[in-house]
Structure formats: C-alpha cells, structure tokens
Amino acid sequence: MRFLLSLFAILAAFLLLRSLLEPLVKAIVAWLAPAPPPPSQTPGEPRTAGELKKDPVCGTFVSPEVAVTQTFHGQVIHFCSQKCRDEYARKA
C-alpha cells in the first residue's frame, strides 16, 4: 500500500512538474526562436518628383533613369531626347 502511494505521489509530482514546465519550455522556445521581423514602419525613401530633371531645351521634366544625359562644363544635363541634347550642344 505504501508502495502504491509513493508511486501515485511520484506520478502526481511528474504530472504537476510537466504542467509547470510546459509553459516554461514554450517561453524558452519562443525566446530562442528568432523574433519575427517588426512591421516595416520606416517610410521607404520615395522616388519623389524632386528627382526629375528639367530638360533645358524644351522644359520637359525627365527622370534621370531614362533621360539622355550629357556633361557640359562639368555639369550633367538631362534631356528628354537626343534631339534636345543635340540642340543644346549646338548652342553650348
């Protein structure tokens, strides 16, 4: 009888310990696991219209990525087309 009681006590202690450890183990796993990346709150650098360059010949605003560029007197000038660049080069 005493043996059964101690066995029951051990079993109860084991179950109690497990129920106590389970949240602890989960917490440790959560702590060890890499935290999920925080939601991107940083405002991404917007490609604003401020990046547009003015074509000095026809006055068109062009994106530097697609503009025809030419360096005149050490200054990069952006043109909407090769035609405008040629015209500017003729005057320069």
Alpha-carbon 42 to chain mean position: 8
Considering beta carbons, is residue 45 or 79 the nearer one to Zn ion?
79
Question: Cβ 30 to Zn ion, closest distance in Å?
Answer: 60
Instruction: Give the x/- contact pattern for Zn ion in 39-68, rule: CB under 5 A.
Output: ----------------x-xx-x--------
Distances (CA, A) of 35 to 11, 31, 69: 36, 8, 46
First to last CA, the chain: 110
Among 57, 50, 49, residue whose Cα is nearest residue 81: 57
Question: Cβ 60 to Zn ion, closest distance in Å?
Answer: 5
Q: How many residues bind Zn ion (CB under 5 A)?
A: 6
| 80 binding Zn ion? (CB under 5 A) | yes
| 84 binding Zn ion? (CB under 5 A) | yes
